[in-house]
Amino acid sequence: MEPVISVMLQILRQCYPVSPLPLVTPSSAYAFSVPGSFTPEPPCALSEEDFEDDGDEEVDKDLDSEDVKEEYDDLETDVDKLSSKPGLDRPEEELMQYEAMCLELSYSFEELESKFGDDANFEDSQDTNHHHIPTAASPKQHCLKKDQTSWGQEKEDTVQTSLLSMVKMGRSSKKRPIKNIYHDVQSNCLGIDSLGNDVPDIQTSPKEDGWDIEAISCPRMSASFSNSTSPREAGEAIDKLLHLHPKHIPFHDPCLYMDKARRTRSVVDFKMVAFPDLWGHCPPPSAQSMLERKCGVQRIKIFEDVRRFIQPNDIINKVIFSLDEPWPLQDTASSCLRFFSKFESGNLRKAIQVREFEYDLLINADVNSCQHQQWFYFKVSGMRANIPYRFNIINCEKPNSQFNYGMQPTLYSVKEALLGRPSWIRTGNEICYYKNHYRQRAAATGSGKCYYTLTFVVTFPHDEDVCYLAYHYPYTYSALMTHLDILEKSINPRQVYFRQEVLCHTLGGNPCPLVTITAMPESSSTDHLEQFRHRPYQVITARVHPGESNASWVMKGTLEFLVSNDPVARLLRENFIFKIIPMLNPDGVINGNHRCSLRGEDLNRQWLSPQAHLQPTIYHAKGFLHYLCSIGRSPVVSYFVSTFV
């Protein structure tokens, strides 16, 4: 029966009526006015005549029986324009502005001996959390042992406060002034209070029935982490929860993260922070294998889509979340799931309840664009435990995806985090990725553009939890800026030369960091300074495509390794000067883009002729490389961290 079923499936797919996406416009819900550029036109409603019937298209083979040829948009198609040695695209005198970014070549180390010579125990007094790079195989080493601490103070009684009293948000305590006790805890969140006492384990606290999860799962940036005596309820609960935080998250500080998030500029001026980004997360206890895909799962999903059309009686088709609507659509008293995505790196434009436990989701196009829908990151709440919920992301663009070959979405549970297990995990089953019946209007692209569905089923671990789902482990711009500050404070300045500065500011007004890492000269002698200043340069960049968040995790590990006490890291520092631009597209990362900048263009296609006022990060990164060449210090390697999912 296999040949008959396959032919029948293709006939059904061809007969399914082509439909427009259920959106007011294919353009992004967010618009940014670029200085000196065009002003985006207001959205226009779609009509049936905007779509063409592409009934003559090639038969779409079922992926279960035949692999689909992948189209790689990243392959260079303009190789004829490339030259082995591109010419200088700006006046040579302009390159001198980058001299300030190479202070290590002129820095005076005359006070090197006097600065550190009197402190024989300098290394012992430093934060040691950078000496070991944490891995999934060694979770026990994330925390410092008691005998490694240098608090030197007598123990007092441990704070005897239950988690329930910390998280419960009763009306009676709303106006009660409460001291901000987080400031009594060391800022590195080691699970040890200022007196050297272990913080009580959250898992020994009462049941979570009284937790007001919604109040703390997406706190406002205005929630006070200062010494204010009457902070907002959500901020008050977070402050107290941080005091009882039982896990050491390496190189993470929630208070510092909140401060960085407040300074981050977004197109829509986000007011909330996502709980996983604020709270932090530990690596999973073990490596997760790829999901084995069951044969025929795509066929089943396509049949279910067809059944919507021929048996519409059980179809709810209710919009419960939309960025295009000025009023809230979700009824907190209803039994349907609740969605939210207006936080840094978040991307969910619309949610439609199809059946009781099935939802169609549409992700937002890149800012000032009508395409590149692939990255997603959103909050979902109001679920019931042990119920399989099906999610269909129906406006993906890539012709194929790693979701067809074992990749799974990532999930973060707030309740699990409060129980002492703050981790992103791979989740979902019945996962497949296939072409659907939605088409974009021909007027926008010149042809009927196809869309693809990513479908997966999730069974949530807790009732009335708040969970976050993402395309891949998120890594925000605020997380990067937090990490750099903590990293700088964790190094031993006698051994590591570490400097962070601003390469330029983005179109959205955010600083693009440039980091320098090398070894300090052994002394201020002429020979040692000569060796220091003649070390070859290595240039490393990452995250030009916002949706490739795994590149930021690679960069995070690279930074932590380069400043560590590992013998290989020491050898690298002693022989090279590393110039690192860890995020080339901060605006895209902040606003939840998959591929583009705020101009709606792929910055990785702008290297030939970038402009300072339109592609500032590319322009100045290229200018900096030109400067190094002009002074005879061409990088030995210019490495671009790019990983695809």
Q: Give the DSSP per-residue string, 23-88.
A: SS-SS-S-----TTSPPPPPP----GGG----TTSPP---TTTSPPPP--TTS-S-GGG--SSPPP
Under 8 Å between Cβ of 565 and 123: no
Report whether pLDDT(136) > 50: no
* Rounded Cα gap, residues 273 and 277, in angstroms: 7
What are the tokens at 158? 């441990």
pLDDT per position as a tens digit, 93-108: 899 999 999 999 887 7
**CA distances to 8, 11, 55, 434, 593 from 4, in Å:** 6, 11, 21, 20, 42
What pLDDT score was predicted for residue 221? 77
Kindly state the DSSP code that residue 175 receives in the 8-state scheme.
T
Report how far residue 452's alpha carbon sits from residue 320's, in angstroms, rounded to the nearest whole number.
22
* pLDDT > 50? residue 126: no
Do 417 and 275 touch, CB atoms closer than 8 A? yes
Q: 526-530, 544-548, 575-579, 640-644: lowest mean pLDDT where?
A: 640-644
In the predicted structure, residue 230 carries a pLDDT above the cut 60: no
Beta bridge mates, 391: 359, 456
Q: Which helix (H) or strand (E) holds 381?
A: strand 377-381
Q: Name the more confident of 456 and 84.
A: 456
pLDDT at 531 over 70: yes
pLDDT of 81:
60
This prediction has a pTM of 0.80
- pLDDT mean across residues, the chain: 77
H helices of 459-606, in order, are 477-490, 526-533, 549-562, 567-575, 586-590
Residue 145: exposed, middle, or buried by beta-carbon count in 10 A (0-12, 13-18, 19+)?
exposed
Query: How many Cβ atoms from other residues are within 10 Å of residue 308's Cβ?
Result: 16
What is the per-residue pLDDT across 423-439, written as a single tens digit (0 to 9) for each? 999 999 999 999 999 98
End-to-end alpha carbon distance in the chain = 35
The b/e string for 109-134 (b: 16+ C-beta within 10 A; e otherwise) is beebeeeeeeeeeeeeebebbbbbeb
User: What pLDDT sits at residue 415?
Assistant: 92
Q: Which residue has the higher pLDDT, 512 or 525?
A: 512
What's the rounded mean pLDDT across residues 30-42?
66
Looking at residue 115, what is its pLDDT?
52
- Tens digits of residue pLDDT in 210-223: 556 776 777 787 64
Taking 50 as the threshold, does the pLDDT of residue 345 lie above it?
yes
**589 closest CA partner among 451, 466, 455, 481:** 481
Which residues neighbour 533 within 8 Å (Cβ) at sequence distance 6 or greater?
A: 104, 105
CA 525-529-531 angle, to 5 degrees, is 120
Other Cβ atoms within 10 Å of 444 Cβ, number: 15
Give tens-digit pLDDT for 361-387: 999 999 999 999 999 999 999 999 999
